[in-house]
């Protein structure tokens, strides 16, 4: 997508400029709160829930948390990816646009680029794995893109994409590994920061401290697949004092960022069929430069498939918010990963943290969800049971 050296620097100012470029094309997605989920996160996990985990038998953490959910599932095309796609196209010349654009994606970036291309009157070629969610495939075609199918690994996707470029001359718009994509995704953090300030200024009781401060957003946690969103959010919030964390599925090594940080080197290949299908890719080279910087991303944490399902169930049943599995990974970390919860307990102290959680998308179907929960999930049952046994501990749910 052109010479990377000519792209804007990865700074908060560049994210602000990106927001000015794309705000006419995107939705200002809402920020919701939930007394139920905040209350649940602020209670220690039971030994029943911790049974079978690496934390079994340990004293559970007691963090004090108030959640603010950035609902990118209500974004155009149903996911945050619209931000990066519109920004990337805004940086292309008319000559480049005339050649058409191409990308590879399991679905959300595919739909986002298809929509952005249609908006600009540009031809879009989208390479999608054959195992992509049917609704994402039909959505991409519905925006007028030409869909070409490939295998599920990043190497297979890239090979087919290169064939399309050789045949058509189309300009590659990567799903995550490019500064223009990262800057576009980071625009959600600017909105979240401002929206949380506005909410707490109007209703101080929404804050974990019960009052408004100069900086109300203590931390943000986002899902992490290729790393475009996490690195973009970290870039947007760099130097503000708001800590940034990432969340991944650990099934079949899907937690490549977490493992890469532990070994001090980016993991370049991932092959996982986690239910969080939007997070099946390894972190890109450029996002890794941000994610591996401890001054910008404080840490990345992972959760199991059962924990993702449990969190998804809670969000959909208690908040009445429709999300896809990938979007549930960040809240799952806050609810179930004891390493993250202990960090919050220790660093936030008795005041606690206001934590922004990104619901990255809602592109799934009732059929897919029905299959996901066809077999009773013991973790989800235990989690909901904890909420149901003590009505005094957790207040009535407040979705908005």
Side-chain half-sphere CA neighbours of 154 within 13 A:
21
The pLDDT tens digits for 44-61 are 999 988 988 999 999 999
Block residue for tokens 């619901």: 359
Q: Are strands 146-150 and 243-249 parallel, antiparallel or unpaired?
A: unpaired
pLDDT at 379 exceeding the cut of 60: no
Domain harbouring 374, CATH code: 3.40.50.1100
- 18, 110: one domain: no
2 located within any domain: no
Residue 389 confidence (pLDDT)? 31
Residue where a domain terminates, one of 142, 157, 172: 172
197 located within any domain: yes
The pLDDT tens digits for 342-378 are 999 999 999 999 999 999 999 888 888 999 998 665 5
List the domain range (segments joined by +) for residue 271: 12-78+178-389
Average pLDDT estimate for 300-329: 97
Strands (E), the chain: 31-32, 65-71, 101-104, 124-129, 146-150, 171-172, 219-223, 243-249, 299-303, 353-359
Residue 318 Cα distances to 168, 188, 387, angstroms: 48, 24, 10
Residue 153 confidence (pLDDT)? 75
Query: Catalytic site residues?
Result: 81, 106
Sheet holding 219-223, edge to edge: 31-32, 65-71, 353-359, 219-223, 243-249, 299-303
Q: Taking a C-beta distance cutoff of 8 angstroms, is the pair 266, 260 a contact?
A: yes
- What is the pTM for the complete model shown? 0.91
Sheet holding 171-172, edge to edge: 146-150, 124-129, 101-104, 171-172
70 located within any domain: yes
Residue where a domain terminates, one of 157, 172, 187: 172
Residue where a domain terminates, one of 172, 191, 207: 172
What DSSP letter does each residue of 115-128 carry, written as one string? HHHHHHT--EEEEE
pLDDT at 161 exceeding the cut of 90: yes
Least Cα distance to 283 among 265, 301, 262 occurs for: 265
Average pLDDT estimate for 78-95: 96
How far apart CA 331 and CA 341 sit, in angstroms, is: 11
The pLDDT tens digits for 168-215 are 999 999 999 999 999 999 999 999 999 999 999 999 999 999 999 999
The pLDDT tens digits for 91-100 are 999 999 999 9
Residue 348 confidence (pLDDT)? 96
Residue 384 confidence (pLDDT)? 47
């Amino acid at each position: 997508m052109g010479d990377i050296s000519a792209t804007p620097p990865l700074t908060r100012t560049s994210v602000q400029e990106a927001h000015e470029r794309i705000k006419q094309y995107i939705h200002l997605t809402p920020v919701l709160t939930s007394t139920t989920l905040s209350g649940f996160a602020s209670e220690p996990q039971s030994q029943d829930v911790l049974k079978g985990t690496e934390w079994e038998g340990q004293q559970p953490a007691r963090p004090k948390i108030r959640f603010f959910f950035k609902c990118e599932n209500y974004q155009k095309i149903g996911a945050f990816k619209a931000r990066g796609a519109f920004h990337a196209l805004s940086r292309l010349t008319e000559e480049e646009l005339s050649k058409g654009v191409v990308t590879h994606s399991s679905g959300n970036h595919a739909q986002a680029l298809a929509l952005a291309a249609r908006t600009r009157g540009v031809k879009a070629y989208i390479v999608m794995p054959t195992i992509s969610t049917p609704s994402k495939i039909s959505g991409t075609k519905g925006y007028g893109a030409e869909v070409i199918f490939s295998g599920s690994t990043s190497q297979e996707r890239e090979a087919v994409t290169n064939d399309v470029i050789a045949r058509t001359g189309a300009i590659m718009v990567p799903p995550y590994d490019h500064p223009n994509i990262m800057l576009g995704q980071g625009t959600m953090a600017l909105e979240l920061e401002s929206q949380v300030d506005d909410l707490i200024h109007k209703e101080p009781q929404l804050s974990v401290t019960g009052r408004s401060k100069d900086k109300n957003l203590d931390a943000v946690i986002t899902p992490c697949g290729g790393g475009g969103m996490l690195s973009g959010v970290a870039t947007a919030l760099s130097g503000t004092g708001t800590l940034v964390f990432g969340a991944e599925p650990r099934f079949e090594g899907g937690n490549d960022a977490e493992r890469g940080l532990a070994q001090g080197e980016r993991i370049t290949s991932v092959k996982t069929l986690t239910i969080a299908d939007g997070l099946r890719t390894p972190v890109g080279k450029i996002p890794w430069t941000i994610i591996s910087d401890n001054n910008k991303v404080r840490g990345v944490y992972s959760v199991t498939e059962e924990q993702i399902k449990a969190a998804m169930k809670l969000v959909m049943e208690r908040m009445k918010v429709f999300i896809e599995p990938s979007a549930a990974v960040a809240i799952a970390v806050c609810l179930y990963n004891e390493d993250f919860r202990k960090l919050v307990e220790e660093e936030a102290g008795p005041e606690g943290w206001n934590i922004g959680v990104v619901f990255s998308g809602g592109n799934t179907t009732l059929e897919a969800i029905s299959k996901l929960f066809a077999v009773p999930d013991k973790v989800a049952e235990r989690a909901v049971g904890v909420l149901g046994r003590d009505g005094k501990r957790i207040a009535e749910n407040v979705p908005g």
